[in-house]
Structures are given as structure tokens and as C-alpha cells.
């Protein structure tokens, strides 16, 4: 999901979108990482959650089950995925708002300011500069003290996870956009975007590579971002300095 123009459909191709939920369940151990994500979110009555790349609305249902009083707003550029999301929400009888649009601060300016935000399986599909843009704009719109949670393919730490990731996700989404994630770029980018208390909460191994759940917070009175620990080499590959989380 990029800032404008084009996006990767939920299952890679529009005609596969109806199969997306089943595919994600089987290939990513979705029940494990989504349930863990909701536990980490710990949504309260006063919270407003902005789900960026809402897709077929799976998170909306889980959040509603966890706390029906939490307000949910989802944004995604894919109309086919959002059709499924709205149908799921209606069947479940939950009050979830969805908008078809690429994400930017301007695109959600008329919505209430979120205290929580999520990016699930989005960042591995977009170029490095777009990853940083998304994170910066999320930081800009969050309430002071608000938190961003990411559930996505992160650093692939073992030979097996790297091989599985290369054979599956990188075949589907390409190497250029996905390799920075595999090299561990997300934590440095979160810090560069201005987030504090950046940390990995959970690391889930799957048959398509490992998925990381990350969190960052917007400080009260937060200013600009920090110096990046990620950079592009002359050949276009990613250089990531190892830093503790």
C-alpha cells in the first residue's frame, strides 16, 4: 500500500482476494500472531484504533471481541478487500468504520485522533522510503502517548526462516521491497520516525518466514525523529546497524 497510484492486492492478485483469509490462516499462523497482537493492544473503552491496511477486516472483529467499546477505524486502498471487511463486520454486528484510500495524515484528518494504530502485513510490500513515510505520518497523527503496533515479516534470523521467506513471500512480493524487512530495518525506521520505547514483543516462526510484533510509542511533546540506523548502499541494498531494542 503506497502513498498513491498502485498497491498490492490482499492476496497478490484481485481474483485471489476471496481466498485471502484462508491463505493467511494457513501460511502465517495468523491465529497465533493476531491473537497475540490484540493482547498486546489491550484496547480500553476510551481507545480509538486506526488500522492501516485494514484488508478484509480480521483485526476489527478480534478487537471488538476483546473490547466492544473500543472504536475501530480501518483504511485500505483495496475496494475488494474492504467489501469483504464490511460484510464481516455486518455479520458480526460490530460498529467498524472503513475507508477506501491510501493512508496519509490528510486522508484521515476528519477522523478522531487515534490512541492506537496498527500496520499488519503492510510494510514488507512497500519501498524503503514509503515504509518511513508511513511510519512518520502515523507518528504525526497519534495522540501523545499513543502506540503503534506492527505485525509483519521482520528480521529473518535463521537460515531456515530466510530460505522459507525467499521461497514464498519474496517470490510473491519481490525482493526489493521485502529484503529490508528481512535485514531488520523496521526497528531503526521506527526510531527514525520519532517513536520511543521501540521494542519487539513477539517473534512467530511460520512456513513463509518469521513474523515480528513490534511496538513504538509517541512521547508526550515528541519532536522530530532520530538519526536512522538504516541506509542504502550504492548498489541499492540495505545497510542496517545492529542495535538493541
Residue 118 lies in a domain: yes
Q: What count of other Cβ atoms lies within 10 Å of the Cβ of residue 152?
A: 20
CATH number of the domain where residue 75 is located: 3.40.50.150
Q: Across the chain, what does the average pLDDT equal?
A: 86
Task: Classify strands 71-76 and 48-52 as parallel, antiparallel or unpaired.
Answer: parallel
Examine the pLDDT at 27 and tell me if it is beyond 60.
Answer: yes
CB contact set of 15 (below 8 Å; sequence gap of 6+): none
Examine the pLDDT at 20 and tell me if it is beyond 60.
Answer: no
Residue 7 lies in a domain: no
Residue 134 lies in a domain: yes
Residue 210 lies in a domain: yes
Mean pLDDT calculated for residue range 168-188:
97
Helix ranges (DSSP H) in 44-194: 58-66, 79-92, 128-141, 159-167, 169-173, 175-182, 186-192
Establish how many alpha carbons lie within 13 A of residue 74's alpha carbon, considering only the half-sphere containing its beta carbon.
Answer: 27
Per-residue pLDDT at 23: 64
Number of domains in the chain: 1
Residue 203 lies in a domain: yes
Q: What count of other Cβ atoms lies within 10 Å of the Cβ of residue 19?
A: 12
Q: Write the DSSP assignment of 11-66 as a string of letters.
A: TSSGGGGGGHHHHHHHHH-HHHHHHHHHHHH---TT-EEEEET-TTSHHHHHHHHH
The residue range of the domain holding 165 is 14-240
pLDDT band at 31 (very low <50, low <70, confident <90, very high): confident
What digits encode the pLDDT tens for the residues 74-103?
A: 999 999 999 999 999 999 999 999 999 999
Residue 3 lies in a domain: no
Residue 8 lies in a domain: no
Per-residue pLDDT at 8: 57
Amino acid at each position: 500500500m503506497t502513498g498513491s497510484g498502485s498497491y498490492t492486492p490482499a492476496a497478490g492478485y484481485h481474483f485471489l482476494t476471496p481466498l485471502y483469509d484462508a491463505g493467511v490462516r494457513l501460511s502465517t499462523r495468523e491465529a497465533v500472531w493476531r491473537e497475540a497482537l490484540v493482547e498486546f493492544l489491550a484496547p480500553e473503552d476510551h481507545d480509538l484504533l486506526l488500522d492501516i491496511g485494514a484488508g478484509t477486516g480480521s483485526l476489527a472483529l478480534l478487537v471488538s471481541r476483546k473490547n466492544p467499546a473500543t472504536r475501530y477505524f480501518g483504511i485500505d486502498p483495496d475496494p475488494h478487500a474492504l467489501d469483504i471487511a464490511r460484510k464481516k463486520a455486518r455479520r458480526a454486528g460490530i460498529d467498524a468504520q472503513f475507508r477506501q484510500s491510501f493512508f496519509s495524515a490528510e486522508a484521515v484528518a476528519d477522523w478522531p485522533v487515534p490512541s492506537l494504530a496498527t500496520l499488519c502485513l503492510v510494510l514488507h510490500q512497500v519501498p524503503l522510503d514509503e515504509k518511513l513515510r508511513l511510519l512518520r505520518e502515523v507518528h504525526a497523527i497519534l495522540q501523545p502517548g499513543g502506540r503503534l503496533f506492527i505485525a509483519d515479516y521482520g528480521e529473518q534470523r535463521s537460515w531456515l526462516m530466510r530460505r522459507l521467506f525467499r521461497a514464498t513471500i519474496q517470490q510473491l512480493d519481490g525482493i526489493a521491497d521485502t529484503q529490508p524487512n528481512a535485514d531488520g530495518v523496521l526497528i531503526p525506521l521506527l526510531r527514525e520516525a520519532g517513536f520511543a520505547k521501540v521494542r519487539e514483543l513477539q517473534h512467530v516462526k511460520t512456513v513463509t518466514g518469521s513474523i515480528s510484533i513490534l511496538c513504538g510509542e509517541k512521547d508526550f511533546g515528541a519532536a522530530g525523529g532520530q538519526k536512522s540506523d538504516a541506509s542504502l548502499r550504492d548498489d541499492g541494498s540495505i545497510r542496517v546497524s545492529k542495535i538493541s531494542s
